[in-house]
Amino acid sequence: MTSIPSGDPVALLRQLVRIDSRNPSLVNGAEGEGPVAHALAATLRDWGFAVSLAEAAPGRPNVVARIGRPGGRTLLFNGHLDVVGVEGMRHAPFDAEERDGQLFGRGSADMKGGVAAMCAAAARAARQGLGGEIIVTAVVDEEYESLGTRALVASGVRADAAIVTEPTRLAVNPAHRGFVWAELDFRGRAAHGSRYDIGIDAIRHAGLVLAAFDQLQREVLDRRTHPLLGHASLHAATIAGGTGWSTYPERCTLRVERRTLPGETTEQVMREFEEVRQRVAAYDATLDVTLRHVLTQGPSDVPAGAPIVRALEEAMRAEGESVLHEGMSAWTDAAILNDAGIPAICYGPGDISLAHADEEWVPLDEVERATRVLTRLAHDWLRGEVA
């Protein structure tokens, strides 16, 4: 493989995008992150990093690279190497085609552009001399269960602060929503469609609960807000039930997703759902439903005055960038890092609206600009020039 000049984010981005790293938990038969992790590890070793590969799952290694002086202040750069499927894409997914100042490919925005920028920034900052250590972590499986960052935290990796280089269009994203998945299993009574006297319609009961969820959204969740993230939300994800036109449906399964704001908990959400169940049961005594929690990914929120936020703002201004704060619309591994006591915010090149899309690209000038800002941030943070 062709050697990449040290600190060149665009050349590194081309290399990363050209390697298929579709998440095998999402795409049957996909090879996974192994090839791209090994390629990145080799490049970072060439650039002077101390690099290790640690499997978060069989054949799916995290890249953990360190540069600088251990024992001093630390800064973590985190990004994921896995990408989603490519069905329906309108351009070649792994050619890394460049046109009009943009690089096209699956994962270019989400988030190999950010990974390239953070790696190049660490290399550039090291050439200037560091008063501490930069830890670069390129992880697996963020698109499914975040096995990579969870394994990273479990292994004991810690830092004074972290930047997760998800695509933010170079805005500071100190907060994002979490989510709770829940499943409701409705049981009715099968009967001929003419036998209203004995049939119990499980789908109708699901409809009653959906109407109550709509009321919860309008009367409660719409009024529960965060300054960067808007209001809490709830939507039906899937619904399935019934066997035929002339049969009362015996079963119906409804899956819902509740997007949570910082401060909201799984227990609170499930209590709200239980209150909805009780309200519908009071209206229709034939309701028979089992409510089950499936998965929670917590929200993330770092205060605007936190040292890492102020340090990033100062680095942006020093590099001639406008400072804009936004809330991240998607969930990210920043939440896991924050839960582990590492203040983590999102900042990177590209637009999250292009993630998973049929056309995905990242502006090359944003990759370079992000690299410059992160270089300055690392230099100043590790020299203790930002408290």
Question: Which residues are known to be catalytic?
Answer: 82, 142
Q: Which helix (H) or strand (E) holds 204?
A: helix 202-219
Where do we find the tokens 């096209």?
104
Q: Are 34 and 60 in contact (CB under 8 A)?
A: yes
Q: Exposed, middle or buried: residue 231 (CB in 10 Å: 0-12, 13-18, 19+)? A: middle
Q: Give 35: exposed, middle or buried? Use CB within 10 Å, 0-12, 13-18, 19+.
A: middle
Number of Cβ within a 10 Å radius of residue 252? 23
In whole angstroms, what is the distance from residue 201 CA to residue 289 CA?
A: 12
DSSP assignment of 91-144: S-TTS--EETTEEESTTIIIIIHHHHHHHHHHHHHHHH--SEEEEEEEES-TTT
SS3 203: helix
Q: How many CB atoms lie within 10 A of CB 264?
A: 21
Q: Which two tokens stand for residue 16?
A: 């990363």
CB 75 within 8 A of CB 159: yes
DSSP state of 321: P
Query: Roughly how many angstroms between the first and final C-alpha of the chain, as a whole number?
Result: 42
Q: What whole-number distance in Å separates Cα of residue 329 and Cα of residue 76?
A: 22
